[in-house]
Amino acid sequence: MGIDYVLFDRLAEMSTRFKPAGRALMLGRQGFRIQGKYRRHYDQSLKRHGIAATRSDLLQEDGYSETLLRQLGFGEIEAMDFSGYEGAGIIHDLNTRPDPALEEQFDLIFDGGTIEHVFNVPMALEGVYRMLKTGGRFVSANGLNGWMGHGMYQFNPELVWTFWKRACNCDVVDCRAVPIEPDVGFKQVEFRDPAETGHRLRLKNKIGPGRTYLWYEIEKSTRSHLPRHVLQSDYEATWQRHENTGEARMDEVTI
C-alpha cells in the first residue's frame, strides 16, 4: 500500500477543502515515496493547491506517510492494521466490528487501498461508519479497473451511491475515476448518482484498460444512520416509481 502521485494530488486538492479538527486515521500504514518520473508534478501540485512545502518536506526516513499527511494539514494521523508488523498503533481486523472505544472517534478516515484486501467488505464499511464522527469524512481510493489479482475485489461507483448515500444517508462529496498514470489519454471522470440520472453508468471508452482508482469522499451528517438493508440505487428508484404509478418500463429493471 502506498500513496502514489495521483493520490498525493487528490489529497493535496482535498486539503484545500477539508481539514480534520480532531483525530485522523489511515487504514493500513500507507507508504509514500516520490515517483521519479513525476518529480515535477509534485512541485506543480504543491504550488497549484497553495501548499507551502517542498518535496523534501513531505518525506520521512522510514518511507511512510505521516509526515506527508501532516504537511497537508490532516494532523497527527494514526494507523490501523490487522497486524503491528508495519508499526500501526491500532490493531483491528476490519472483518469484525470495531471496539466500542473506537466508535465516533475520527474526523478523517483515509483508506488508500486497504478494504479491497478485506473479505467482509460490508462489515469493513460498517466499521468505518461506526468509527467516523458526525461531520467527519471518509476518503477511499481502491481499485476500479485494471487491478485483477491485486486484492479480493475491485469496486465501482454504484457502491458509493447505494451504500453511503441511499442506505446510510451520508453526503457524497466526490466520486471519480482516477487513472494511476496522469499523462495517459484517459482523464479523471466524475460520477453522478445513477438513481438521479435515470440510467446506469456507461463507462465504455471513458476509463482506460489500465489501472484506475475509484476515489470517493463521503461525509457523515446528523441525518446519517446505518441501514437495515441495502438496495442498489437504480433498482430502488424503479421500484418506488412502480409503487407510485403501478407500472415500470422493462428497460428500467433489466440487468
> Which one, of 101, 103, 121, 102, lies nearest residue 111 by Cα?
121
Query: Per the confidence metrics, is the pTM higher than 0.85?
Result: yes
For the cut 60, the answer to whether the pLDDT of residue 208 exceeds it is yes
Query: DSSP secondary-structure letter at 100?
Result: G
Q: Quick one: pLDDT band at residue 8, thresholds 50, 70, 90?
A: very high
Contact 197, 158 (CB under 8 A): no
CATH class of domain segment(s) 2-252: alpha beta
List Cα–Cα distances, 45 to 7, 60, 191, 247, in angstroms. 11, 19, 23, 51
Q: Given this model, what pLDDT does residue 197 score?
A: 78
Tell me the pLDDT of the chain averaged across its residues: 91
Q: Given this model, what pLDDT does residue 51 score?
A: 95
For the cut 70, the answer to whether the pLDDT of residue 10 exceeds it is yes
Q: Given this model, what pLDDT does residue 191 score?
A: 93
43-47, 84-88, 172-176, 229-233: lowest mean pLDDT where? 229-233
Q: Please tell me whether residue 113 adopts helix, strand or coil conformation.
A: coil
Q: Please tell me whether residue 202 adopts helix, strand or coil conformation.
A: coil
Q: Given this model, what pLDDT does residue 105 score?
A: 98
Q: Quick one: pLDDT band at residue 252, thresholds 50, 70, 90?
A: very low
What residue spans define the domains of the chain? Answer: 2-252
Q: Given this model, what pLDDT does residue 246 score?
A: 56
Report the alpha-carbon distance of residue 225 to residue 208 in Å, rounded. 35
pLDDT, one tens digit per residue, over 108-162 is 999 999 999 999 999 999 999 999 999 999 999 999 998 888 999 999 999 999 9
pLDDT, one tens digit per residue, over 147-160 is 888 999 999 999 99
Q: Given this model, what pLDDT does residue 94 score?
A: 98
* Beta partners for residue 31, in sequence order: 2, 64
Q: Given this model, what pLDDT does residue 245 score?
A: 64
Residues 6+ apart with CB under 8 A from 175: 157, 160, 161, 190, 191, 214, 215, 216, 217
pLDDT, one tens digit per residue, over 54-101 is 999 999 999 999 999 999 999 999 999 999 999 999 999 999 999 999
- Chain centroid to CA 100: how far? 23
pLDDT, one tens digit per residue, over 23-44 is 999 999 999 999 999 999 999 9
Contact 208, 184 (CB under 8 A): yes
